[in-house]
Structure 1
C-alpha cells in the first residue's frame, strides 16, 4: 500500500511531507484534514498524532508525526530512489544537520510569524497585518539571511553542492513569502535570491504546488 499523508494541502508542514515524497518519486495518498472543522483535534486523527497537529504519516504499520521527522524517514527509507536528499558520508551529513537545525530554530520561527501576519490574518481572519510585527520580523529575517548569504557564496546549497533536506525544509514558507513584501528581503541578497529561485523551480516542488491547484 502507498504511504498516506494526512493534512491540509495548504499547510506548510504538510507541504514539506508532500515535497520529500515527490523528490523521492514515491507514490502516496494525500488524505485531506479539515482543520476549520477541527478534525485534527478529534479521533481518528488523534490516534495518528496525539498533539492534534498536522501532518500525520502512515506507511503500513508505521505511524509518524512531525514533518521534519517524516522527511528524514522518507529520505533514508527510499535511499537510492529519486533525489538522495541526505548524505551517507558522516562529515557531509553533519553539515546538512547544522542547516536543518538552522531552518528549524532560526528561519522557521520568524517566517511563520510573517506567514501568519501577511497571509493567514487577511485571508482567513479578515484582519489587516500588524505592520509593526511585519517590519520587526522582516528585519530579523534579514539578519538570518545575511548568514545564509555568506554560506551560499561558498556552496550552491545550504548543506553543500547538492540539494538536500536542508534546502527542502525551507520550501513551503518560502513559497508563501514570494507573494508578499517579504520577497524583497530575499531579493536583496544575490546568493540567497539565486538559491531561492533554484529550489522553488524544482520539478518535485512544482508537482507539490500542482496538488493544491487540482484540489
Structure 2
C-alpha cells in the first residue's frame, strides 16, 4: 500500500495531530511540504486535494459532537446494561437505567430522523467519519432486546442498515464478533 500523504508543515498543530496518530500505529506516511507564508494552502491546486469544503468539514464536526454527547452516552448505558453486565459480569440489567436511556436515545433519534429525511448521510450526501463513528454502538444496539427502537425512525434504520452493508464495516463486525 502506498504511504499516506500528509500535506502541510510538521510545525502545524493540525498536521502534528495527524502525524502523531500515524506514528502511534506505525503507518507509513510521506510528509509533503506546503509553504504557508507564500499562501500555498489557499492555492487552487492545494484546495483541490480535498474534496470536502469547510462547510462539509464543519458538518462532520457537528455530527461527531452530537454523536458523542447524545447518541453515544445513551447507547453506552443501554449496551452496558443489556450486553456487558449479563455477558461478562453475570448480572442482570437495571431496567430503570435502560428505560431512562432509551428515552434519551429516542430524543436523539428524532433529531437524526429529521436529518436523515433530508440527506443520505449525517454531514450531507457523502459518507464521513460522523457516520462511521456511529457504527460500533449501532452494531451493539442491534444485538440488544431494544433494537426495535429503530422501527419508529425508518430513515435512521435505513441509514444504519446501509452502513452495516459497507465492506469495511462488515470486516470490523467480523472482528468484533470473533
TM-score between the two structures when normalised by the length of structure 1: 0.60
- Name the structure 2 match of 1:206: 170
Kept after mapping to 2: 8 A contact 1:110/1:137: yes
2:124 pairs with 1:160: yes
- Name the structure 1 match of 2:158: 194
Residues 211, 150 of structure 1: alpha-carbon distance in 2 compared, 3 angstrom cutoff? same
Residues 212, 151 of structure 1: alpha-carbon distance in 2 compared, 3 angstrom cutoff? closer
Which whole-Å CA distance do the structure 1 matches of 2:111 and 2:21 have between them?
Answer: 36
Show structure 2 runs of 5+ residues with no match. 5-19, 30-49
Shift of 1:88: 3.0
Q: Secondary structure at the match of 1:179?
A: coil
Structure number with bigger Rg? 2
| Structure 2 counterparts to residues 92-171 of structure 1, below 5 A | 92-171=56-135
Kept after mapping to 2: 8 A contact 1:87/1:93: no
Paired residues, what number? 141
Which whole-Å CA distance do the structure 1 matches of 2:176 and 2:101 have between them?
Answer: 27
Shift of 1:133: 0.8
Shift of 1:58: 6.3
| Larger RCO (CA within 8 A; separation ≥ 6) | 1
User: Which of residues 136, 143, 164 is equivalent to 1:179?
Assistant: 143
Residues 100, 121 of structure 1: alpha-carbon distance in 2 compared, 3 angstrom cutoff? same
Which whole-Å CA distance do the structure 1 matches of 2:158 and 2:165 have between them?
Answer: 11
Give the structure with the larger helix fraction. Answer: 2
Which whole-Å CA distance do the structure 2 matches of 1:178 and 1:160 have between them?
Answer: 24
Which whole-Å CA distance do the structure 2 matches of 1:88 and 1:112 have between them?
Answer: 31
Residues 101, 183 of structure 1: alpha-carbon distance in 2 compared, 3 angstrom cutoff? same
Show structure 1 runs of 5+ residues with no match. 2-23, 25-56, 65-73, 75-85
Which whole-Å CA distance do the structure 1 matches of 2:176 and 2:138 have between them?
Answer: 16
TM-score between the two structures when normalised by the length of structure 2: 0.71
